[in-house]
Amino acid sequence: METVKINGNEYPAVISGVYNDAVWDGRASKSITLAIDYATAAELFVDGAAWSITSGGEEYDNSDYNVAGPITDNRDGTITVKMGKLTDLEEAYELLFGGI
């Protein structure tokens, strides 16, 4: 069983990831599906959020996936949140100008 840990709380979740998200500027992204309401997801999964995945008793930091993406209501009591890494261009801009 996987869980997502964010703001000190753990939520059962299903997580999948891609290295080159074709529909999100080619960034690496993770999709997190969990049983919370849209408003709570919008509060938790924001730009810069520190979060981790717990699986098999191990915790894996995913804070480098810190760009908040779309939130989808699956209409079955779950939502799916996308969190992504900065693209190379965004990282370069951040290095040069201190943020986007």
Residue 99 confidence (pLDDT): 61
Q: Residue 77 belongs to what domain range?
A: 2-97
Q: The tokens 């989808």 sit on which residue?
A: 72
What is the value of pTM for the model shown? Answer: 0.88
pLDDT at 66 over 60: yes
| Beta-bridge partner residues of 80 | 33, 72
Tokens of 80: 């799916």
In angstroms, rounded to a whole number, what is the distance separating the alpha carbons of residues 22 and 24?
Answer: 6
- For the stretch 25-37, pLDDT in tens is 999 999 999 999 9
In angstroms, rounded to a whole number, what is the distance separating the alpha carbons of residues 35 and 77?
Answer: 6
Q: Please count the structural domains in the chain.
A: 1
